[in-house]
Structure 1
Amino acid sequence: MCSDTPLLNNIKKKVRSYTTVDDEPLAMALGAYRAITLRKGERLSRQGDKVNHFYYLERGCISYYKMEEDAIKVLEFYTQDVFFTDLIAYVKGTPTDCYLEALEDSTVLAVHKDDAERSFASSHQLERFGRLSMQEAFVKLFNRVDRLNNRSNEERYLRLVQKRPDLLQRVPQYLIASYLGITPVGLSKLRKRLGKG
């Protein structure tokens, strides 16, 4: 049970950014979350694990990736104040083929799927939050695939610089390259051409 009040302040604001939730059902729902402290390099999940938790990232940076032909393929970077999980494995109840790994020392709040479902069943407000947060996660996933398929390397890089410039300081360049769908050499050449490297 998560009872550390400073940790809960941010997640309360985040939940309420989706919809109105009264104090009592929100307090009951958040009582099921537990705090997890991860050191850099520690994993929340690895290939073959069942994904039974939904997470809120209080602080830090988490890489969501899979291995393809012995190479890392980064699907997403999660940074503080975001809900996340391996969404496909979580929804389908199947083992994941991905990894969730801390790129920095991180603090995560985790809720078990059963506890989340109980909270949604007990409150229409919480059910609405659950639906809206899942919809947002699916839209982000779709948009990410769309960008990879329909934008040039330069467009993807410039969007990253504009939307998430902190990642360029926090994440190793080879992982940024993987996230952008290019090689590290390709990223280096792109940065030089654009006067960024």
Structure 2
Amino acid sequence: MNVSLNEVEALAKKATRGAGYPWGLAEDAAKAVRFLCSNGVDGCAALAGTLRVFDGAQLHNRMPRQVDGFWQAETGDACPIALGAALLDRAGLTTGQVQTVGPIVHPILLVPFIAQIALVNGCAMRFHAGSFQVVTDGKFIETLGAISEHADTARVEQEGKLKAPNSHVSRATPDAAVWDVLNAFAHKTYAPATEESRRKGAG
């Protein structure tokens, strides 16, 4: 498939909302997916995988909390969307510090939030998550290693600069099956047609 970044953002927002996330986190997720796609990373697949994990789950149990400098969910794996928003809310506190998180699913979804932290702090940030690393200055990213779907631990720190940033792209190329998954979640936000709406031509 070949779709615009606007289409990606719109569907990602509806899909995240359909999976039960509040509007604020749905908007954060949509912007995150768009950022990844614009940097040549398959954000759609990461979001689809995340929503599959947390669909129907008690999201409050997966909301992050910080204990002795370590971010983790109340139970099980942390949600990268909720964790990213929490880190961004405390962006100023990351200056000169190492933030450790995990376990977490689809950690690549944290990168757009880390990019925002880089902009706030005015310096490049490095993200280590299992098999891969990402360096970002807030606008561009450089990916190193194979992106994994899970990390037992990951860390965020101020470090270095980009040497070979990913090229920016204006369109995304998600797999059709992934797009179908996002559409299925998005359809959960649509109100069922009523008899009156059918008479007016809906449904």
Same fold flag (TM > 0.5): no
Query: Relative to total residues, which structure has the larger strand share, 1 or 2?
Result: 1
User: Which protein has greater RCO, CA pairs closer than 8 Å, 6+ apart?
Assistant: 2
Query: Relative to total residues, which structure has the larger helix share, 1 or 2?
Result: 1
Q: Under a length normalisation based on structure 2, what TM-score does the superposition of the two structures give?
A: 0.27
